[in-house]
Every structure is written in structure tokens, then in C-alpha cells.
Amino acid sequence: MITPELIAWLNEQRRLGCTDVSLVQALIKAGYEQDFSLQFVQGKAITEDASGSGKDAQLQPPALSSIPLGAEEFFLSPNEDQPSLTQFNTPNVRVVENASVKILMQLNKPRVAVFEGLVTDEECDLLIAAAQPRLDPSKTVDSVSGDSVMHAARVSSGMFFRRGESTLIETIEKRIAELLRIPVNHGEGLQILHYKPSGKYDPHYDYFTPSESGSQVHLLRGGQRIGTLIIYLNTPKAGGGTVFPDIGLTVSAVKGNALFFSYPLATPESMSLHGGNPVLEGEKWIATKWLRSGVFI
């Protein structure tokens, strides 16, 4: 049963910065059922008034997933009170791990940035060569079981490098961490994906939906995903761009460029719906790094 005290507790924990995942875990530990805990934290639970009729609990909006200290620049939108002409008036070139990274484009909502120079052409080729012998058909996460399963929405092949698996991987991971100001251990292993002609990935969200039972096993490995970095390892002859349907944006796949976007709120309100447009001619290779709110294990 939802009581005013329980609602007050939830709102106070959110004020203190607790994530939805930690709140659900705390409720389960206190003896509440998992389904109730998930629905309550997501604001879907129903309480009863004095007449016995149902009404929505008066809850504050879901809290932001915790962003590591110092990483706010590329993960959170600039202050809306700041004049728009100066929101992104920051250094245009960042030197990270001996690489000069240019910021080509930035967007406020959702938080999107496009970089040039994060990796060299030679490093792109080396990543492709190292990944090719280890490719398998790409899968998606089942919303109920949490298992990796084949799905018609995703037509590609891929593999994962272990974090720090080689000198090349370690160097790139350090650059990403320094650029985005997020610890290396908050990143999942670098994934390489290969799309042949007609290969694509229908629009989707990268975060794990907290209300889905299949998400729980993944959330326990490092908290919620809060950002995605995509490095384009080649330039397809046609097609293959990354599309954001909610905001009418397509980022072209250009070798050596990297796309970053964040979703500190794990709901469609993040406007992070995105997909990989079909490759019309040639092939497409990308490297993807998913970033977590906590240490990924």
C-alpha cells in the first residue's frame, strides 16, 4: 500500500540524487515486491483515496541517472538560463592522449556532439582487421529474460573487445575517458559492428528500461547506461547514417568521426531514440562504446 510517508521517502531520496535503480533495490530489500517497486519508482503505482477509488500517486519526475563528477559537459544540457549564443562557447579542439579532437557540432536537447580526430585512419583500419575474425550475428536484449537474442530490427554482425585488451584498445579507451571526463571503468567493452548492403538497426533506445524484468541483470553490472559513443571506422558509399527521428537529425557516417549522445533520464523524454539507416551502397564499420553511471563489471 502506498502511504504519504512512502511517497515522501521516495521524493527525499530523489532530492538526494539516488538513481531509480538504487531506489528499486532499496524497496525490494525492505520487503516490497519487485513489480510494485518498479511501478512505484516509475510513477505508475496507484493509491486509494478515502472513498476507495483509485488515483495516481503524486510523485516527482524520475531522477537523473547519476553522472560521474566532472562529466557534466557532454552528458547534461547547458543551463537554459545561459544565453544561447554562449552555451557552447568553449574550446573547439581538445588534446587527449596525444590526439587533437575537434568538436564539429553540438546540440542541447538531446545532448549530442560530433567529434573529428578521436581516432586516426590507421587506427580505424587496425580495429576492423582485429575484429573481422571474431564477428558473429548481432543480437538485442530480450525485455523479459535479459538474454541476447536475434531480432529482425538489427541486421549486422559484431564482436566485443575486452576493456584494455590490447595497447590499441587501451589507448582509445583512455582518449574517450579523457574527452568525456568519465572513468575508463565506467565503459563497457568496445563493440565493433559491420553492416553489409541493406544492413541497418531500426530506431531504439540504448538505456535499459527499468520496468522490464530483463533489464535487472544488466543494471546490476554497472548501473544504467547514460551515454553512447559511436566511432565511424569507414565511409559507406551511400546510406548508413545515424538517425534521431524525434529531432529530425541524421549524422553521416564519415571515417574517423565520432558521435556522442547522452540520456541521463532513462525514458523516451530523453529524446535519444536513434537508429542506423540502411546501407545503400558499400559497407559500414563502427565502434560503439556504451557508458554507465557506475563501474561496469
Instruction: Give the model's pLDDT for residue 16.
Output: 76
What's the rounded Cα separation, in Å, for the pair 173 and 164?
8
Q: What is the domain partition of the chain in residue ranges?
A: 4-56, 72-292
3-state secondary structure of 77: coil
Least confident residue range of 12-16, 216-220, 269-273: 12-16
CATH 3.40.80.10 holds for 72-292: no
- Locate the DSSP E strands across the chain: 46-48, 54-56, 93-96, 99-107, 112-116, 136-137, 140-141, 148-149, 154-155, 157-160, 191-195, 200-204, 225-232, 238-239, 242-244, 249-251, 257-262, 274-276, 279-281, 284-292
108-164 pLDDT tens trace: 989 999 999 999 999 999 999 999 999 998 877 666 666 666 667 777 899 999 999
In this predicted structure, the answer to whether residue 48 has a pLDDT above a threshold of 60 is: no
Radius of gyration of the CA atoms of the chain, in A: 20
The pTM of this model reads 0.77
- Residues in Cβ contact with 163 at an 8 Å cutoff, skipping those fewer than 6 apart: 169, 173, 184, 185, 187, 188, 189, 190, 296
Q: Using 50, 70 and 90 to split pLDDT, how confident is the model at 18?
A: confident
Least confident residue range of 24-28, 102-106, 277-281: 24-28
Instruction: Give the model's pLDDT for residue 286.
Output: 98
What's the rounded Cα separation, in Å, for the pair 101 and 178?
11
Asked whether 231 and 290 are in contact (CB, 8 A), the reply is no
Instruction: Give the model's pLDDT for residue 44.
Output: 53
Q: What is the DSSP letter of 123?
A: H
Instruction: Give the model's pLDDT for residue 60.
Output: 44
In this predicted structure, the answer to whether residue 66 has a pLDDT above a threshold of 50 is: yes
Instruction: Give the model's pLDDT for residue 13.
Output: 81
In this predicted structure, the answer to whether residue 207 has a pLDDT above a threshold of 90 is: yes
In this predicted structure, the answer to whether residue 55 has a pLDDT above a threshold of 50 is: no
CA angle 57, 208, 197 (to 5 degrees): 140
What's the rounded Cα separation, in Å, for the pair 151 and 148?
9
Over residues 83-111, the mean pLDDT reads 92
Burial class, 33, CB count within 10 angstroms (exposed 0-12 / middle 13-18 / buried 19+): exposed
In this predicted structure, the answer to whether residue 50 has a pLDDT above a threshold of 70 is: no
Q: Using 50, 70 and 90 to split pLDDT, how confident is the model at 81?
A: confident
Over residues 89-108, the mean pLDDT reads 94
